[in-house]
Structure 1
Amino acid sequence: MLIPVCDKEIYMSNYTVIPDIHADPERLSLSLATAASSDHLAFLGDFIDAGKSVLRPDDAEVLTRVRRLIEDDGAVAVMGNHELNAILFHRLDSNGQPLRARDDKNRAQHRSFIERFSIGSDDALDWTEWFLTLPLWRDLGGLRLVHACWSDTAISTIAARRLDGRLRPDDLEEVARKETPFARAVDLLLSGPETALPAGIGFHDNSGHYRTQVRIAWWRADAPTWRAAALSVPNPEYLPETEITDELGLDFYGEENPPVLVGHYKMRGAPRIETPQAACLDYPDTPCVYRWSGEQALRTTSLISTNK
C-alpha cells in the first residue's frame, strides 16, 4: 500500500524526536538540550494543556519556542490530539455551538491553555489556526512519526482527500462528529485504537475518570490478554488475564515496516523499546527523547533521558 509522505525536502538522517511537552517549558528545555548539534528536531505533538505535575505551566512559552524552531530552524512536527481538541473547543459549528463541548471535564483538561489565552479569543484562534498547519503524520524516508497510531488504512483514507495530511477548516464539523470513515481515521491516528472491555470490567484512568473502553497497543501483535495489550491503565491488575477473542480490526504494525515513533500513551516505568519497529516515547515520570541516526531497527541505546 502506497503511503503518501510529507515534505520530502526536509528528509535528513539524524533526528532528535521529542514527545509530548504539555505546556512544560522546563521539559522542553531539557529535551532540546539532549539534541546533538548535527541533529534535526522532530516533535510528536501535544504541546499544550499542562497536567497537575507541571510546576510552571506556560502554553504560550512552549508554543512560541516550538513554532520558532519549526518556522526558522527547520524542525518538523505532527499534530497531537490536544491540538485537535483545542481547534474544536474554540470554534463553533454551523449552528453556533462549540465543536467540542465546553463542559467541566474538557475545561479541566484544557485549563492551562484557557487560563493563558481565554476561550475563543483572538490569540486562541490564532494558535489553533497554526495547529492546522501540522500534519497528522510524517514519513521521513526511513522513520515514521504519528502522535498515537500508525495505520496504513487510516492514512490512505485521509490522503484520498488531504494528500499532505493536513486538515482544513471544512473538515472540522465532520471530524468533531466522528461518524464518517474520514473522521474515524483522524481519531485513530491522534487518539489510538480503543475497544470495549468485557462486560462488568472497567478502570479509573490517570484523571480519575471511570472507563469501560481501553486503549490497545497496536504494535503488540502477539499480546494474548487484555492485561498485556492494554495501554494507559494506571493499574493493569484491574484488567482480566483472559485472552482477547474479539476481532478488533486493527492494523497491527509488522516487522517489515520502517520504524515508527509515537507519544500519547503516558507510559510508566523506565523508557524501553518494545519492538524493533515501533515505540512510544511518552514517559511523563521518566522523560526521554529518541536520537535516530538512520537505523532500520529501533534500539534502546538511542533512548536518551532528559532528567536532570
Structure 2
Amino acid sequence: MKEYIIIPDIHADIDRLERSLTMAGDTPVAFLGDFIDAGRLTKQVDEKAVLSRVRRLVDSGRAVAVMGNHELNAILYHRKGADGAWLRAHTAVKTKQHRSFIEAFGVGTKEAKAWTDWFLTLPLWYELDGLRLVHACWDDTAIELIKARRPDGRLHADDLPEVAAATSPFGKAVERLLCGPEVLLPSGYMFHDTNNHERHKVRLAWWRPEATTWREACLSVPNPDELPSGAIPPDTAALLYSADASPVFVGHYKMIGTPCIEAPNAACLDYPARPCVYRWRAGEGLSAGNLISLDVQKAC
C-alpha cells in the first residue's frame, strides 16, 4: 500500500520540520510548499537548515514537493525584468514578509539566486498514486491551461514576467493554483480583515462542496456577520471541488481552531497555531484518525 506523510507550510521553522519528519519515520514525505519566510508563529527560524533538509530529501527521492506562493514570490523578488525593474516590487510590505530569507541570503545574491533556481524545479502540482497535491487550489481548468505550455507543471524563466503580471490566462492560472480563488462580494457588501482593512473580495474555501451560503463558503473573515446571509451564486458554486474528484491536500490558508477534515476528498492542513501532518494511504478515504498533531502526537 502506497503511503505518504503530507507536510504543510514550514515557513523556515526548523523545529516544526524536524518534528514533522520524526512523525514520518521511514514513510515517504510530500511537502505542500511555503518552506521559507518565517511568520509570527515560527518557533525556531533557520532558513538555510530548512531548505537544505528539504532539498536533500527531494533530491534523494525520499520526498516530493510542490511550489508554494512564497517560493514563487522569492523567485520574482530576486530577479529583474527586461526593463531592469525587480519582477516583484521591493515594497516595505513585501520586504517585511520576505525578511527572514533576505537575512539568510541577501537580495539578488549568488546564494539567493541559487535557491530560487531550485524553487523553479518544483512543480506547481503533483498527481500520483491517486493523490493530488497543490499549494492553494486544485483547478482542472487552470492545470490544463498550464499543461499546454509546461506539461510537467514546472515554470521556466521565460514565464516569469508573465507570471509576475498575472494578467494573461497563463499568469492567472498560476496565481489560482498558488494563491487560491477570491470572489467579489455582491454590491454593497464588504468585510474588515484582521488588520481592519476593508475588503470587497473574499477567499473561497473551494474544498467545501456542501457549502451553499457565503458564510459557509468563505475564509479569513473575522466577523462572518459582515457577509451576505444568502446563497452563493451559481458561478461561485461552480468553483467548489467536486465530491467525486480524487483526494487533494493543500496548505496556504492559515486556518484557525482545531485541525479537521472538512470534506471526504479534500483537506487544508495549514494550521499554524496547531501544526499537524496527515498520514495518507492509497485506497483509503480521508479520515480524522490520520490527521496527526505535532504538539500532542496523536490524532486531532
The answer to whether the superposition gives a TM-score over 0.5 is: yes
Alignment partner of 2:75 out of 82, 87, 93:
87
Alpha-carbon distance, 1:232 to partner: 2.6
CA 134–207 in structure 1, closer or farther in 2 if over 3 Å, else same: farther
Separation in 2 of the partners of 1:120 and 1:184?
Answer: 26
- Is this contact kept in 2: 1:258–1:296, CA < 8 A? no
Structure 1 counterpart SS, 2:149: coil
Matched, 1:289 2:277: yes
Counterpart residue number, 1:140: 128
Paired amino acid for 1:25: I
Separation in 2 of the partners of 1:302 and 1:25?
Answer: 23
Q: Give me the TM-score of the superposition, normalised by structure 2.
A: 0.93
Q: Larger deviation: 105-114 or 127-136?
A: 105-114
Separation in 1 of the partners of 2:199 and 2:179?
Answer: 15
CA 142–52 in structure 1, closer or farther in 2 if over 3 Å, else same: same
Counterpart residue number, 1:215: 203
Within a 5 Å distance, the mapping from 1:37-116 to structure 2 comes to: 37=26, 39-116=27-104
Matched, 1:258 2:246: yes
Q: Larger deviation: 225-234 or 206-215?
A: 206-215
Counterpart residue number, 2:111: 123
CA 159–95 in structure 1, closer or farther in 2 if over 3 Å, else same: same
Alignment partner of 2:165 out of 174, 177, 202:
177
Separation in 2 of the partners of 1:303 and 1:18?
Answer: 11
CA 305–100 in structure 1, closer or farther in 2 if over 3 Å, else same: same
> Runs of at least 4 residues of structure 1 off by over 6 A?
none
Matched, 1:236 2:211: no
Q: Residue deviations 1:31-55, cap 9 Å, x none?
A: 1111142x10000000001111223
Paired amino acid for 2:21: L
Separation in 1 of the partners of 2:239 and 2:212?
Answer: 16
Q: Residue deviations 1:86-121, cap 9 Å, x none?
A: 101111111001111110111111111111111111
Task: Give the percent of matched residue pairs that are identical in Structure 1 and Structure 2.
Answer: 57
Alpha-carbon distance, 1:251 to partner: 3.8
- Is this contact kept in 1: 2:6–2:30, CA < 8 A? yes
Paired amino acid for 2:281: S
Separation in 2 of the partners of 1:29 and 1:200?
Answer: 47
Structure 1: unaligned runs, 5 residues or longer: 1-11
Paired amino acid for 1:21: I
Alpha-carbon distance, 1:208 to partner: 6.0
- Is this contact kept in 2: 1:158–1:182, CA < 8 A? yes
Paired amino acid for 1:31: S
Counterpart residue number, 2:13: 24
